[in-house]
Amino acid sequence: MWLRVVLIAAFSVLATAAAAEKTNLLYAQQVTAAAARPITIPDKLWPQIEPDTRAEPILFKKRKLRKGSVCGDINIQGKPVGNVSSKVKACGVKDAVEITSIAGVALSRPSVMECGTAIALNEWVEETVKPTFKRRGPVVELQVAAHYACRTRNNRKGARISEHGKGRAIDISGFKMADGEVVTVLKGWRKNPSQSQLIKIWRGACGPFGTVLGPNSDRFHRDHFHLDTARYRRGPYCR
């Protein structure tokens, strides 16, 4: 390739030179002669072809991750479980997935939800939960208090069916760090440094999720964050 470029350059010099003075012609001949000489490349410039011991496991891991991913995102690990039906008409999930880990953070139990909820969860974990616990953690597990369940809001008789009954909600009660420490909503909400971290995390859920309820909302949520993807015309509802 380079030899070709050099040759083309040399010949164009030659062509220009031919029309010019004789001294220039002599110069062009020298250039051509130089270009025609075989080029030797020093050994150290050849690419070092050695098996990359790191590349293979990474590729293998990626392939494995893609195989276990759902909702079109490698970060969302789990399996499709099809349609979840219920005797109660208002309950059930279409094209449900059972999630085991999100953005490399495990769920304490496999959790059934819609892809839209898994995608919101991924956004929240990636953009808020992981960065908030970066120094204290890393965070390795979300403690799931509830996921899909056909029940009414706050389990009250006669109340409307909860978003949990539609696969659009998840309740998180704590965050486990790599060293085994668990930051719970119940205890952490009352004192620092957990308090400011949990407030940050609670606030960060507002946006990816349409409804976010924490200890400040009511007595039903003093020990967990309720996150669901129900949308309101007036924007997210976060308390």
Stretch that binds Zn ion, among 32-40, 41-49, 75-83, 220-228 (CB under 5 A): 220-228
Stretch that binds Zn ion, among 46-54, 176-184, 222-230, 231-239 (CB under 5 A): 222-230
Q: Which of 117, 144, 171, 198 binds Zn ion (CB under 5 A)?
A: 171
- In whole angstroms, give the CA distance from residue 201 to residue 34: 68
Q: Which of 198, 226, 229, 238 binds Zn ion (CB under 5 A)?
A: 226
Rounded to a whole number of angstroms, the minimum distance from the CB of residue 104 to Zn ion is: 24
Torsion of the alpha carbons at 78, 79, 80 and 84, rounded to the nearest 10: -80
User: With the C-alpha atoms ordered 146, 149, 153, 156, is the resulting torsion angle positive or negative?
Assistant: negative
> Considering beta carbons, is residue 176 or 221 the nearer one to Zn ion?
221
Stretch that binds Zn ion, among 136-144, 149-157, 175-183, 226-234 (CB under 5 A): 226-234
Rounded to a whole number of angstroms, the minimum distance from the CB of residue 227 to Zn ion is: 7
Q: Burial code of 189-211, b = ≥16 C-beta within 10 A, e = fewer?
A: beeeebeebbbebbebbbbbbbb
Rounded to a whole number of angstroms, the minimum distance from the CB of residue 239 to Zn ion is: 13
Rounded to a whole number of angstroms, the minimum distance from the CB of residue 146 to Zn ion is: 6
User: Which residues lie near Zn ion (CB under 5 A)?
Assistant: 169, 171, 226
